[in-house]
Amino acid sequence: MLQRLSTFLYQRPRLVLALLLGPPMLYMTVVYLGSLFILLLNSFYYLEEFTGLIVREFTLRTYAQIFEPANRDIFARTASMAAAVTVADALIAFPLAYYIAKFASPRLKTWLIIAVTIPLWSSYLVRVYAWKLILAQEGILSWFIRLLHLDGALNWLLSLPGIGGSSLALSPIGMFIVFVYIWLPYMIIPIQTALERVPSSLLEASSDLGAKPFQTFRTVILPLAFPGVVAGSIFTFSLTLGDFIVPLSLGNSKFFIGQAVYSYQGTAGNIPLAAAMTMGPVIIMIVYLLIARKLGAFDAL
């Protein structure tokens, strides 16, 4: 019986392909693409202010609301945070990735890769929570800063308009630190992967030809590792753009995109506006991915 079925299938590779591909594609198309489509559809509806009901007819009114100053500020604020986080992550990740790829012994390297990968997969929420403890006004960081007699500098930093706040735990500076922290592994891994592919002979050739270490770094390593940086930036940028946990836990009343979407769909019940707001990150990410592909980032993934 199985033998005959086996022969039957062997003669029909197209049927086998359909059987293999069918379930996953059906699931992803119906559940995922279907939902995205309904989301897109809803962004063209609008919420009737007086009745609080969603009017299901095609309109661009909801999209027009996005360009109101308050919402425009949310986009600008979120995009600048995402950009700042991406730059900081690249700066912190590069030395570590370079060290892992080119200097660590094979044994140490295995452990370092595990040490970087585990935080990438695990306990996103717990890692945010850790910073709630660290940044608290009475917490360990403030204690440390007082120990170094730097409280004056901290207060000055917190008094700056735009990035300051009542304490580190409730300010854009605090959010920035936490974002940099939680997305750092997403930047390290692609840079390390890109650097692994740079043959060591190339670096030796560069120094044999008389380049100083910094010159080798600038003219050989950096250009070859750049696609890795771009690949990492896709994650850090995209993840910051859509996050609402960090702003809700550490932010103040100044909204970020994710937070706005969360509150529009929740208490306000304004799903069309939440949907239209979400299209912002989607469009930004599609443009970002297209540019990243041009820069060769996908080979580094």
Partner 1 sequence: MPSNVSYGQKASWGLTLAAWGGLLFLHVPILIIFLYTLTPDETTYTFPLPGITFKWFGVALQRTDLWRALTLSLRVAAVATVAALVLGTLAAAAVYRSQFFGREAVSFLLVLPIALPGIVTGIALRTSIGALDIPFSYWTIVVGHATFCVVVVYNNVLARFRRMQGSQIEASMDLGANAFQTFRYVVFPNIATALLAGGMLAFALSFDEVIVTTFTAGQQTTLPIWIFSQLTRPRDRPVTNVVALFVMLITFLPIFFAQKITAQSADTEGGSK
In the region spanning residues 133 to 192, those forming contacts with partner 1, defined by CB under 8 A, are 133-134, 136, 138-140, 142-143, 181, 184-185, 188
Rounded Cα distance between 40 and 280, Å, is 11
Tell me the residue ranges of DSSP E strands in 170-223. Answer: none
Q: Which is nearer to partner 1, 160 or 205 (CB)?
A: 205
Binding of residue 15 to partner 1 (CB under 8 A): no
**Rg of the Cα trace of the chain?**
24
Site string for partner 1, 97-116 (x = CB under 8 A): -xxxxxxxxx--xx-xxxxx
Q: Which is nearer to partner 1, 20 or 160 (CB)?
A: 20
Cβ 152 to partner 1 shortest distance, Å: 20
Q: Which of 230, 224, 219 is nearest to 90 (CA)?
A: 230
In the region spanning residues 29 to 48, those forming contacts with partner 1, defined by CB under 8 A, are 29, 31-36, 38-39, 42
Cβ 45 to partner 1 shortest distance, Å: 10
Rounded Cα distance between 231 and 5, Å, is 45
Q: Which is nearer to partner 1, 285 or 295 (CB)?
A: 285
Cβ 51 to partner 1 shortest distance, Å: 17
Q: Which is nearer to partner 1, 118 or 291 (CB)?
A: 118
Using a 10 angstrom Cβ sphere, with 0-12 exposed, 13-18 middle and 19 or more buried, the burial of residue 282 is middle
Cβ 156 to partner 1 shortest distance, Å: 22
> One-letter amino acid identity for 223?
P
Helix (H, G, I), strand (E, B) or coil at 55: strand
Taking a C-beta distance cutoff of 8 angstroms, is the pair 218, 212 a contact?
A: no
Q: Which is nearer to partner 1, 172 or 262 (CB)?
A: 262
In the region spanning residues 260 to 299, those forming contacts with partner 1, defined by CB under 8 A, are 261-262, 265, 271, 274-275, 278, 281-282, 285, 289
Site string for partner 1, 185-224 (x = CB under 8 A): x--x-------xxxxx--xx--------x-----------
Taking a C-beta distance cutoff of 8 angstroms, is the pair 236, 288 a contact?
A: no
Question: Which of 9, 64, 150, 205 is the binder for partner 1 (CB under 8 A)?
Answer: 9
Cβ 278 to partner 1 shortest distance, Å: 5
Rounded Cα distance between 107 and 111, Å, is 7
Q: Count the helices and strands in the chain (H runs, E runs).
A: 16, 2
Question: Which of 239, 255, 297, 300 is the binder for partner 1 (CB under 8 A)?
Answer: 239
DSSP-assigned beta bridge partners for residue 55: 46
> One-letter amino acid identity for 213?
P
